[in-house]
Chain A
Amino acid sequence: MISDFSVPEFIFREFLLWLLVQSEKRDGSFELAGEYVSFRVEDQLKLEGEGDVRQTDLKKGVPSISGEAKSALQDGKLPTKMRVRLVVGGDEYLFVLDSKLMEIRGVKMPVVPLTERELRMEQRIFHLSQIYRMLELLFREFANFRLDAESWAEQVKEINRWLQEKPF
């Protein structure tokens, strides 16, 4: 399925950073394949990098707009885990996105008010594939910028400007 090369992990950390900044700048609103979705970073953000303190764990409150998060980012750390609230067409999902494995954990999805197990299972699988579909659409948007040097340079400037803004 896949060639014998691998995409380095920093690409996925950059993806998480881009998601974090975009969700703050767009107030969580994204248009993906003609659909409006809400993507917000919730109460958990882990940043990792080099330096004396290599890991910053921010929990509770609103880590994405905190001074601690911006300070860690300015120190060169990048997000490796974040808790996300995704809303697609009225369906709300909560999950932790991990850049190292690109896996989702602690996934909470809408309660399926059906008694028949076949239908319940079908709904659960639909919701799971919905989360992955949205993540793939978001990654595609990120990759479009990342693959074009000029567009990505603009994105980097935008991220840097956001980092310089004073936290609330």
Chain B
Amino acid sequence: MGFLKGSLGIKRYFIEKPDVFSESRDKVVERLLDFQFRSIEGSAVEEAAGWVSPFRSFDPKITVEDTFLDSNIFLAMRIDRKTVPRLLLSNKVNQLLDSGSVLPKGKAELKQLKEDMYRELLIKALPEPRIIEGVIDLPHATLYLNTASHRVSGLFLSLFEKTFDILPIHIDPTGFAFLTLKDEAKLQVLADSEESCFHDI
């Protein structure tokens, strides 16, 4: 698993009210299981995200032993995404039209035909899975997310919020300065500062 080896791309979040993680460990895992990953293979769904075991990425079964590692909580979100190439879709639609088996009357029927074909191809398409890992450092109420992607981190946070009813706060540059200086007055002075000139002095 990526967090335990290799290089990391980290986004950091602050969990303001981590009380939910003081619940019993079983209860936390129950919450994860409520949003465990469900396969979209063979269905007309473009994308699905859910929790999986951090150590067996393709296993939606989640256990307390896999999730709680000392004072850290280990999370893994699986996102499956299916795509239908536009070229394939128009080719299939054209084939159908050329065969004369369907004769759409007007734009609305043609649009419907394309949508039906899209759904048909989506059912057959194979999903592309991705695993995104997160670790909650409970003593520091910090969530570390191993991704540099805004879209993926957004999906992770959305699932996290649905699961635990809390939304972690991204430690952006201002958050970083706040956590470092721990003084709003100093932060305000920085916020009001003027840009320095290092050249042509």
- A interface list, Cβ under 8 A from B: 1-3, 5-12, 14, 17, 73-76, 78, 99-109, 112, 117-118, 120-122, 124-125, 128-129, 132, 135-136, 139-140, 143, 146-147, 152, 156-157, 159-160, 163
Contact = CB atoms under 8 A, between A and B. Distances in A.
A8 B193 contact: yes
A139 B69 contact: no
A147 B148 contact: no
B169 A147 contact: no
A88 B199 CA distance: 33
A102 B172 contact: yes
Contacts of B179: 136
B7 interface: yes
A151 B77 CA distance: 48
B: interface residue count bin: 35 or more
B191 A5 contact: yes
Contacts of A112: 4
Nearest to A105: B9
A10 B191 CA distance: 10
A139 B177 contact: yes
B74 to A, nearest CB: 7
B173 A143 contact: no
B174 A143 contact: no
B3 A124 contact: yes
B148 A6 contact: no
B199 A118 contact: no
Contacts of A147: 186, 189-190
A120 B199 CA distance: 47
Contact of A128 (B10, B70, B175): B10
B184 A163 contact: no
A84 B172 CA distance: 20
Q: Which of A7, A103, A107 has the most CB of B within 10 A?
A: A7
